[in-house]
Amino acid sequence: MADLLHNQFPPDSLEAKDLEHLLHPTTNLQQHHEVGPVVHERAQGVYLWDNHGKQYIEGMSGLWCTALGYGERELVEAATEQLEKLSYSQLFGGKTNEPSILLAEKLKAMVPFDAGRVFFGLSGSDANDTQIKLMWYYNNAIGRPEKKKIISRTRGYHGVTIGSGSLTGLAPFHKHFDLPIPEVLHTDCPYYYREAAEAETEQDFVDRIVDNLEQLIVREGPETIAAFIAEPVMGAGGVIVPPPGYFQKVQALLVKYDIFFIDDEVICGFGRTGRAFGAETFDIEPTTMSLAKAVSSAYLPLSAVLIPEFMYEPFIAVSGEIGTFGHGFTYSGHPVCAAVALRNVELMEERNIFEHAATVGEVFQQRLRGFADHPLVGDTRGVGLIGAVELVSDKETKASFDAAKGVGAYLMNRCEANGVILRALGDTLAFCPPLIISEDQVDELFTRFATALNETLQWVR
């Protein structure tokens, strides 16, 4: 294989070195070795350039995360100032630092529920892994050791650690990894376009899948179920927007059976849906919340788990008995990451980014819906500045393309050729541009996409 790769690219090129040295996450490794990498070299605002000088408009905010776009000087300066002042500090053993304290205070004030404490990590995966551990720790602390199971949903994405990867409801993240673990259950995804029965209304569909959830709870025993976890809009599972009333009916069940609601805002948080948090867009009342990605606009890694005070209080006595609260990471509350995240959320407020996302989101959604009549498109869906176009081989029957044909991947590659970065989730193309995108840039993004979509249609035919 090494000889083949060296023939494909000059041996001293970044492409050849990538193929020789890196193990890429979430990548078709066989295909990667056939076509090679795209090397991103620089970026500014909503644009990136590769190492050959080709420009791309960013349609995915990196991985749903670069909310303020690239090259924001205020965040560079925040990082530089903190690096010079205090480059590292830990939170173990009661140590602390100013950026972590101020960021925790800020996040508690922003979220739409009565948060009591903030735990810092580095990724959405570790945040949701922490959520599992805190649910277990809490129920042990209050004398409910049997109340441990977490209900997630098929197509949900919550991370890739052993715990959060189990919460994820996508087969590629389970196969050959021996996941999910037994304590994690999965219920229906609110994917009306694909999973509704023939002639079933949205309301009937919601009633049916919520009834399925209740049957699962009763069958497993509500005394064994600690929490239900959900993204307000499912991201990596296909940008699934729930039908009206879905979360209200789910929430009523959770209250009935004393089950906590873990709100995974890793993608939806900080303006993506046109409100500060997806919970506000969909009237969710969380028990706990996971944050990451846009909390720092991905300038430095940071995640946060917010829990209510009533969960925190039993931790005090139990950790006293054990001798410590035995959870945490070397980089929990890293002062440079926290300083950048704090300045990031301050800029969002100072520049009215959430309001901008809501306004431009209307233009974005209008352009997105305009593809509904295209011969390849079965469904368009989204809210705010997140959306998707789903490809079909037959619009009337909703028949999908044979997965082996890779139509979605072909379209993603044509988008790349036309200078727009999108992500293929099977035969669904996901859109998630930086929140700073302008109306003219939205038009540019979709104009380039339209060219790629028509090129794909010709290829299919």
Residue 375 DSSP label: T
Using one digit for the tens of pLDDT, what is the confidence trace for 125-166? 999 999 999 999 999 999 999 999 999 999 999 999 999 999
Indicate whether 168 and 299 sit together in one domain: yes
From CA 230, how far away is CA 225, in angstroms rounded?
15
Using one digit for the tens of pLDDT, what is the confidence trace for 69-79? 999 999 999 99
| pLDDT recorded at residue 367 | 98
From CA 425, how far away is CA 438, in angstroms rounded?
25
Fill in the amino acid letter for 234. Answer: M
Fill in the amino acid letter for 329. Answer: F
Three-class secondary structure of residue 67 per DSSP = coil
- Averaged over 214-235, what is the pLDDT? 98
Whether the CB-CB separation of 181 and 163 falls below 8 Å is answered with yes
Which of 318, 334, 350 delimits the end of a domain? 350
Written as one string, the DSSP assignment of 238-270 is T-BPPPTTHHHHHHHHHHHTT-EEEEE-TTTTT
CATH number, domain of 386, equals: 3.90.1150.10
Q: Is residue 149 part of a domain?
A: yes
Q: Is residue 207 part of a domain?
A: yes
Q: Which of 270, 190, 238, 231 is nearest to 387 (CA)?
A: 238
Please state, for a pLDDT cut of 70, what percent of the chain lies above it. 98
Indicate whether 207 and 231 sit together in one domain: yes
Indicate whether 95 and 54 sit together in one domain: no
Residue 59 DSSP label: S
Region of residue 27 (phi > 0: left; psi between -120 and 50: alpha; otherwise: beta): beta
Indicate whether 61 and 92 sit together in one domain: no
- Averaged over 408-424, what is the pLDDT? 97
| pLDDT recorded at residue 7 | 58
Indicate whether 369 and 322 sit together in one domain: no
Q: Is residue 316 part of a domain?
A: yes
Total domains in the fold of the chain: 2
Indicate whether 95 and 130 sit together in one domain: yes
Using one digit for the tens of pLDDT, what is the confidence trace for 240-289? 999 999 999 999 999 999 999 999 999 999 999 999 999 999 999 999 99
Contacts from 344-352 at CB under 8 Å and sequence distance 24+? 344/67, 344/68, 344/75, 344/294, 344/295, 344/296, 344/297, 344/299, 345/103, 345/106, 345/107, 345/110, 345/270, 345/295, 346/106, 347/68, 347/72, 347/74, 347/75, 348/67, 348/68, 348/270, 348/271, 348/435
Q: Is residue 233 part of a domain?
A: yes
Indicate whether 122 and 253 sit together in one domain: yes
From CA 59, how far away is CA 211, in angstroms rounded?
37
- Averaged over 118-127, what is the pLDDT? 98
Mean pLDDT of the chain: 96
Which of 350, 366, 389 delimits the end of a domain? 350
- Sheet with strand 55-58: strands edge to edge: 40-44, 47-50, 55-58, 420-421
Using one digit for the tens of pLDDT, what is the confidence trace for 179-209? 999 999 999 999 999 999 999 999 999 999 9
Domain that holds residue 451: 38-71+353-460
Indicate whether 339 and 363 sit together in one domain: no
Q: Is residue 4 part of a domain?
A: no
| pLDDT recorded at residue 8 | 81
CA atoms within 13 A on the CB side of 185: 22
Indicate whether 194 and 99 sit together in one domain: yes
CATH number, domain of 162, equals: 3.40.640.10
Compute the Cα dihedral for 305, 311, 315, 318 and give only its sign.
negative
Q: Is residue 214 part of a domain?
A: yes
Indicate whether 357 and 324 sit together in one domain: no
Indicate whether 312 and 399 sit together in one domain: no
Q: Is the pLDDT of residue 6 over 60?
A: no
Q: Which of 58, 64, 453 is nearest to 294 (CA)?
A: 64
Fill in the amino acid letter for 343. Answer: R
Using one digit for the tens of pLDDT, what is the confidence trace for 64-100? 999 999 999 999 999 999 999 999 999 999 999 999 9
Please report which confidence band the pLDDT of residue 216 belongs to, taking 50, 70 and 90 as the band edges: very high
Return the ∠ at Cα 288 (arms to 275 and 214), rounded to 5°: 100
Indicate whether 113 and 216 sit together in one domain: yes
Return the ∠ at Cα 73 (arms to 71 and 78), rounded to 5°: 120
Q: Is residue 12 part of a domain?
A: no
From CA 266, how far away is CA 415, in angstroms rounded?
26
Q: Is residue 30 part of a domain?
A: no
Using one digit for the tens of pLDDT, what is the confidence trace for 283-340? 999 999 999 999 999 999 999 999 999 999 999 999 999 999 999 999 999 999 999 9
Residues counted in the chain: 461
Which of 315, 350, 385 delimits the end of a domain? 350
